[in-house]
Amino acid sequence: MGYRVVVAGATGNVGREMVNILAERGFPADEVAVLASSRSQGDQIEYGDTGKLLKVQNIEHFDPAGWDMALFAIGSEATKVYAPKFAAAGCTVIDNSSLYRMDPDVPLVVPEVNPDAIDGYKARNIIANPNCSTAQMVVALKPLHDAATITRVVVATYQSVSGAGKVGMDELFEQSRNIFVGDSAEPKKFTKQIAFNVIPHIDSFLDDGSTKEEWKMVVETKKILDPKIKVTATCVRVPVFVGHSEALNVEFANELSAEDAKRILREAPGIMLIDKHEDGGYATPIEAAGDDATYVSRVREDPTVENGLALWCVSDNLRKGAALNAVQIAELLGRRHLKKGNEAALIADEARETANED
Q: Annotated binding residue at 39?
A: yes
Is 149 marked as binding a ligand? no
Residues of the chain under the 70 pLDDT cut = 341-358
Distance CA 24, CA 20 (A): 6
Residue 244's alpha-carbon distances to 141, 150, 152, in angstroms, are 16, 22, 21
> What backbone phi and psi angles, to 5 degrees, belong to 37?
-75, 175
Sign, Cα dihedral of 201, 204, 210, 213: negative
Q: Is 305 annotated as a binding residue?
A: no
Which residue segments constitute the domains of the chain, with CATH numbers given?
A: 3-129+320-357 (3.40.50.720), 133-160+198-317 (3.30.360.10)
Using one digit for the tens of pLDDT, what is the confidence trace for 58-72? 999 999 999 999 999
Say if residue 163 carries a ligand binding annotation. Answer: yes
Q: Residues near 150 by Cβ (< 8 Å), separated by ≥ 6?
A: 141, 144, 225, 226, 229, 250, 251, 252, 253
- pLDDT number for residue 347: 46
**Looking at 132, 145, 235, 313, which residue is catalytic?**
132
Q: Is 244 a catalytic residue?
A: yes
- pLDDT value of residue 341: 55
To the query of whether residue 235 is one of the catalytic residues in this protein, the response is no
Query: If you compute the radius of gyration of the chain from its CA atoms, what whole number of angstroms results?
Result: 20
Q: Does the annotation flag 5 for ligand binding? A: no
The model's pTM is 0.92
Task: Name the residue among 159, 151, 125 with its Cα closest to residue 285.
Answer: 159
The catalytic residue among 91, 235, 244, 313 is 244
